Amino acid sequence: MKLDASQQTRLDEIFAESRAKFAALRDAPEADRRTRAERLRAEVRQKINAMLDADQQKTYAEIVAAETGRAAAGSGRVYVPGPDGRPLEVRLRLGLTDGNATEVAGGDVSEGAEVIVGTVAANAAKSSAGSAPRLPF
């Protein structure tokens, strides 16, 4: 993006501030962490965007879109099993969201469709079905 010296200094300040805030999240109730972390990330993106010129803002928007998997606001993607079992990307138009659940307003996926929500390494140890999750003490 070719930041000038003052922009680089400001960026370093923004990251230093955010590191302290993210570290403080460790003490937050687990139920609130995800929402608060997303708010912090949005705040950081907003601060970074505010210090950039118009051309840099355009480049930054493209970087954020690529990193977050969003081609544009209101769009997203999921993966579904293809005929050969390999994942196929399906582009979606997104609706309302609360940060945890998002409405699918359009796209080639219907309610109840099977979607891929994660992967397992081929050499991963199998977990016993029905066991309770392990909690930290």
pLDDT of residue 84: 94
In a domain, residue 13? The reply is: yes
pTM equals 0.49
In a domain, residue 103? The reply is: yes
> Domain limits at 87?
71-121
The number of folded domains in the chain is 2
Q: Verify that 79 and 51 share a domain, yes or no.
A: no
Q: Verify that 90 and 61 share a domain, yes or no.
A: no
* Segment 7-65, tens digit of pLDDT: 999 999 999 999 989 888 888 888 888 888 888 988 999 999 999 999 998 888 888 87
Q: How many helices (H) and strands (E) does the chain have?
A: 3, 3
Q: Verify that 9 and 62 share a domain, yes or no.
A: yes
- To the nearest whole number, what is the mean pLDDT of the chain? 82
